Structure 1
């Protein structure tokens, strides 16, 4: 149990149940039976009839992946961890007279193609069927996306990743992925990635592009952009 997780979500016979703290909608109920918490597991009725394969809990948000690969999210979204953008019509506001962004009913974030989901304290990660990882939410340490921004409001690609994604995990300010690289080509990509630097990134990217090593090519492109931007601003 992570220290920030003061609530739980389980799947039972294709029904989702949540309990614990629900003050910002992370339990997915229209209203709470006891102040700001549920002492006993309570069914998330808005997901009835939807076959859920996987759930994940963050600091104040919850995500669920359906059997068809759709992703639903609910709870607090002040850092972008719901993936539906900044303050807009998706959100319910006003909590204890202080304006916060929250969603107490599950909202569809990604319609299909999702295989795995993981929630950090204030960010979310998914693995798609095409093998790519996307993230969003609080991004001060780069844990959610490759973008140079404090908040990633929408699903953004996380490069790079070689091999089939087996597990995802999110922490307070970091993320982790377990992959299964089993082919010679994938193992070579790993070794090449270890040698990439600003001086050879263009050459490695050219080789990667011609051999179909898309993840490695994206890594080189990101590396060149990173150093180009740093040089441009004198960092």
Structure 2
């Protein structure tokens, strides 16, 4: 039984009593049993591997999809090159796994968390969940700290996010940022979310100054990570220019 819908990059989910997907499915994001370069579904097609599973919510990322069941289980499938499936490191772009027993395993829904999940949100290349224990966990692309507290480009497994306070009402995830709405969200925290959404290289120093004066460690870390990321990219470009010369 399904009861939600979502849109991802060049694909669409529609849910009735059964789940249907259509659009681009070249890395398994549609959840069907085929996985070939250029795969696409022009018409809605049923996700047969989830027949009999009661889904209450779904979320779509850039090339991955998550489904949350009524029992709090989380299924993921699609592209996992940045760790957004929560299944650990993978090699190459395609998310399929070849072995003697399971061909193209990751183009069909895989159980990642068996119980306890209440909310799920997919960013472009990362995933967030809120559990019944009152914790937020994130994994996937983490260059700006959008998926986890740890200082790593990729968070391969669910990692707790320990800065959140209050009862979580809603999760949201974008390309390089995440947001959470709680019942204890103060005006200061709402302003921090707004600043975090608008931070870029041009205003990072000004926003970091605001963060230092208001005691916002999370916002200060975001500005620091942004500058580090941009500096690494600039150094890489300069190195390539020197090599070309």
- Normalising by structure 2, report the TM-score: 0.67
Aligned with 1:103: secondary structure? helix
Give the corresponding residue for 1:11.
Answer: 15
Which of 54, 57, 60 is residue 54 of structure 1 equivalent to?
57
Give 5+ residue unaligned stretches, structure 2.
1-5, 99-103, 190-210, 222-245
Once the two structures are superposed, what CA deviation does each residue of 1:185-222 show, in whole Å capped at 9, x if it has no partner?
Answer: x97xx8xxxxxx99xx9xxxxxxxxxxxxxxxxx99xx
Choose between structure 1 and 2: higher helix proportion: 2
Kindly report structure 1 stretches of 4+ aligned residues shifted beyond 6 Å.
none
Give the corresponding residue for 1:165.
Answer: 168
Kindly indicate whether the alpha-carbon contact (under 8 Å) linking 1:75 and 1:102 is maintained by their aligned counterparts in 2: no
Aligned with 1:131: secondary structure? coil
Give 5+ residue unaligned stretches, structure 1.
95-100, 191-196, 202-218, 224-235
Which of 21, 41, 45 is residue 42 of structure 1 equivalent to?
45
How far residue 87 of structure 1 moved from its aligned partner, in angstroms, is 2.6
- Normalising by structure 1, report the TM-score: 0.69
Aligned with 1:152: secondary structure? strand
Kindly indicate whether the alpha-carbon contact (under 8 Å) linking 1:25 and 1:102 is maintained by their aligned counterparts in 2: no
Does 2:104 align with 1:104?
A: no
Give the direction of change, closer, same or farther, for the CA distance of 1:33–1:123 in structure 2 (3 Å limit): closer
Q: How many residues align?
A: 183
Counterpart CA distance in 1 for 2:140 and 2:35 is 26
